[in-house]
Amino acid sequence: AKQQGRGLLRFFSPEMTQRAKTRLRLEADLRRAIERDELLLYYQPQVDLPHRKLVGLEALVRWRHPQRGLVPPGDFIPLAEESGLIVSMGEWVLRTACRQIKHWLETGIAPQQTAVNVSAVQLSHGSLVERVQKILDETGIPPQRLELEITESFIMADSEQSFTSLTELRALGVRLSIDDFGTGYASFGYLQRIAAQKLKIDLSFVRDMTTNSSNASIVRAIIALGHSLGLNVLAEGVESSEQADYLLALGCDAIQGYLISRPLPVDEITAFLVQARG
């Protein structure tokens, strides 16, 4: 017992206890965030190459914490995934994005599609398909206006439930996009099984593509792979026109990044949509 006690003491070092407390508080805050209307969606444009015509948007969640201010998703999505909160949070994101799409359709400025990020945890949960179906029914938007971004890393989990869900989602008519491509180990066979429409090259490869020849080779290979599977290939994290020109030369179909626009709150992205139409 004495030994065990010492072990516990070592385990709960003062910093650990502090970290655990902060984490618990954040988790409790996050649990209330949805009810208290503290979550909001930002939207980032996706444009085609070479014309830079708007082809879609990606919805990115933000948390306006009463004390901490605007918290980026990297600081709370992992916590939401570990605690299971991601399921209800993900449903909120889907419903909010679909209601927004409906609103843009009614005002005649809706982009072809709006993408929503779906966590591997949501996908393996099993209830995702029914939730998406319910939200499509509620809002009445055409399913092809909604795109779901699934990270490549989910494929490594190799869950049959996830594959079944993806097949059913495709049957509903929603579009699928493979996110963060190049960071996982998806095989050709898996990619074929998913039947996505789009492949997004992870921004880590795009970042120093113009100066790092091995990253340039990876980007070139991903574009070739995507095209051989009949997928639309989009590069994310494009910040310079040099990168955009390079991607155009490699035959990339579309780009997303600060060069075009940062993610914007609803009123600003709506103004962007109005302008893009005019």
Contacts of 10 (CB under 8 A, 6+ apart): none
**Which member of 162, 179, 191, 263 binds Ca ion (CB under 5 A)?**
179
Using CB under 6 A as the binding rule, the residues of this chain from 76 to 105 that contact ligand C2E are 77, 90, 93
237 binds, among ligand C2E, Ca ion, none (CB under 5 to 8 A by kind): ligand C2E
> Measuring CA to CA, how many Å separate 268 from each of 73, 173, 200, 261, 264?
20, 29, 24, 11, 6
143 DSSP 8-state letter: G
For the CB of residue 11, give the shortest distance to ligand C2E in the complex, in Å. Answer: 30
- For residues 116 and 148, the answer to whether their CB atoms sit within 8 Å is yes
What burial letters (b/e) apply to 37-48, b meaning 16+ CB within 10 Å? Answer: ebbebbbbbbbb
Does 147 interact with Ca ion (rule: CB under 5 A)? no
| 3-state SS, residue 184 | coil
What lies within 8 Å, CB to CB, of 234 at 6+ separation is 46, 177, 198, 199, 200, 201, 252, 253, 254, 255, 256
Residue 85: enclosing H or E segment and its boundaries?
Answer: none
Query: Per rule CB under 6 A, is residue 182 in the interface with ligand C2E?
Result: no
d(CA 204, CA 220): 14
Residues 126-155 that bind ligand C2E (CB under 6 A): none
Residue 84 CB, nearest approach to ligand C2E (Å): 13
Q: Which stretch binds ligand C2E (CB under 6 A): 2-10, 66-74, 214-222, 245-253?
A: 66-74
Query: Residue 215 CB, nearest distance to Ca ion (Å)?
Result: 16
Stretch that binds ligand C2E, among 48-56, 188-196, 213-221, 233-241 (CB under 6 A): 233-241
Binding-site member from 263, 269, 272, 273 for ligand C2E (CB under 6 A) = 263
**Interface with ligand C2E (CB under 6 A):** 44, 60-61, 72-74, 77, 90, 93, 117, 119, 179-180, 203, 236-239, 257-258, 263
**Interface with Ca ion (CB under 5 A):** 117, 149, 179-180
